[in-house]
Amino acid sequence: MARVLRVDRARIEDVRFDEQRVTTDEGETIEAAVIVAVRTYADVRLRCGICRRRSPKFDNGEGRRRWRGTDVGCQPCFFEADAPRVSCKVHGVVVVAAPWARHTSRFTRDFEDQVAWLATESSGSAVAELMRISWRSVGAIVARVAADARSRRDPLEALTRIGIDEISHRKGHRYLVVVVDHDTGRLVWAAPGRDEATVGRFFDALGKERAARLTHVSADAASWIAGVVAIRAPQAILCVDPFHVVSWVTDALDEVRRDVWNAARHSGNKALAGELKGARYALWKNPEHLSSDQRFRLAIVAKINHPLYKAYLLKEQLRLVFRLPTARALALLDSWLAWASRSRLLPFVEAARTIRAHRGAIEATLVHRLSNALIESTNTKIRLIARRAFGFHHPEALIGLAMLSLGGLCPPLPGRGTPEAKAKDHPLRGLTLRPPNGPGRP
């Protein structure tokens, strides 16, 4: 019976079917349930619920306590046992450890592992309906399981090449800072915020010794990331994401297009203004993705407006920089900067100045071929997780679920073996989700 019910380090004293109506901590009324009375073995009795150190008994606490377990057939199951309190030298007066449950939880470990696994596969409302708990309990369980998994396997261990980025997780400029490991492809850290203090918290968790082992850091050109990296990991090579570099000249191209369009409109040349307005997406898109109509519009731009076509060629040449071998790419970057500086197109002159300011990080990208494509893919999956759950009230629940799904921390289903490379075998993570091949994507 103990093996069937998966009772860990305890003896079953009684199993009964209680037809008396039971109200759970979530406020749900259960008409009948299976009650399993258990008693822990002597070697695990009277141990601190936090550190598991043997401690003297303090009092009987709340007496008998129940923990919700996985269902037996179609009936809910509860483990029932004494829950005295002990006086721990480190943590003070705490409830004794229950071998079948995590500390402070009213659910068994198997129940929580099953909820966490289901939460990575479906929406929170579906999990709540199936497991007969509230959706708030689903979020709390996910956060608790993720924290327990992090305490047993440190995701920050053996990091050498990382990517740092931010993602908006809710309306009102609510952001998360996300860190991924380029070598394993896993999410290793996330926290609410979007400033130097948030990045500093990551390096605090990493520690000086492990920060000194970092060799490469990929990020966008945000100063609040680069500044902290320069101070906390000065030996790490900072690589700027190519997409963000190309986006600077894509914005410059759009600014030139607007200026030319406004000039044509104000001069009364409606035909030219109409052609330029219709060529917007033809100028934005990569040449290999243009439709026949967009190719035609681009040919018209080349014929009737030299400055705008020059801006388009400048954008495409910078994209080419990130596709060539390192030596040729560095030489072409020099040529591009010279061309952009004397192009007499003010937006591109400003873009050239910005690129010169970040030239060291851009050259590191060309040499080491490191980008933020992996972290952008991770951000897409985090958005999908939030969308599938119809949003989260608190970022901790989203972070916990993301760490389970994308950080390799998801526990197996009760009674199953530990899956290998859970973060890569998950159906969601098995998809090749690359950042969209939008305007300026090299």
Q: Are 185 and 424 in contact (CB under 8 A)?
A: yes
Tell me which of 19-23, 79-83, 259-263, 353-357 is least confident: 19-23
Tell me which of 100-104, 107-111, 162-166, 278-282 is least confident: 278-282
Work out the pLDDT band at 23, boundaries 50, 70, 90. Answer: low
| pLDDT computed for residue 28 by the predictor | 65
- Residue 200 in this model has a pLDDT that exceeds 60: yes
| pLDDT computed for residue 438 by the predictor | 44
Tell me which of 2-16, 76-90, 344-358 is least confident: 2-16
User: Residue 78 — φ and ψ, nearest 5°?
Assistant: -125, 135
- What's the mean pLDDT in 65-93? 91
| pLDDT computed for residue 79 by the predictor | 92
Type of residue at 22: V
| pLDDT computed for residue 433 by the predictor | 33
| pLDDT computed for residue 161 by the predictor | 95
- pLDDT tens across 396-415, in order? 888 888 998 899 888 888 88
| pLDDT computed for residue 305 by the predictor | 78
| pLDDT computed for residue 327 by the predictor | 95
| pLDDT computed for residue 418 by the predictor | 58
| pLDDT computed for residue 354 by the predictor | 94
- pLDDT tens across 237-266, in order? 999 999 999 999 999 998 998 888 888 777
- pLDDT tens across 115-131, in order? 999 988 888 888 988 99
- pLDDT tens across 332-379, in order? 999 999 999 999 999 999 999 999 999 999 999 999 999 989 999 999
**How far is CA 70 from each of CA 73, 237, 410, rounded to the nearest angstrom?**
9, 49, 18
| pLDDT computed for residue 427 by the predictor | 36
| pLDDT computed for residue 22 by the predictor | 65
Average pLDDT, the chain: 86
- What's the mean pLDDT in 53-71? 90
